[in-house]
Amino acid sequence: MTAGFEHILHWRLLTGSHPFPGPDGGTCINEAAIVAAGLPYRAIRASSDCPPCFSPPLAAYALGLNDAMPDAERPRLMAFVLRLSGSADTAETEAARTGFLARESVRRLLPPLLDRAGMPDLAARCEAAADLGAAVAAARAAAWRGGAAAEAASARRAWLRGALAACIARTATAALRAAEDARCAAEVAEGANPFLPEAWTHAVAILDEALRIGRQAPEIEVVRARDRLDAARAVARA
CA atoms within 13 A on the CB side of 44: 31
Average pLDDT (137-158) is: 94
Specify the pLDDT at position 145: 96
Helix axes 56-68, 29-37, angle to 10 degrees: 130
Q: What percent of the chain has pLDDT over 70?
A: 93
Tens of pLDDT along 177-236? 999 999 999 999 999 999 999 999 999 999 999 999 999 999 888 888 888 888 887 776
**Nearest residue to 77 (alpha-carbon basis) of 210, 203, 209, 224:** 203
Element (H, E) at 13: strand 12-13
- The number of beta carbons lying within 10 Å of the beta carbon of residue 220 is 18
What is the pLDDT confidence band of residue 12, given thresholds at 50, 70 and 90?
Answer: confident
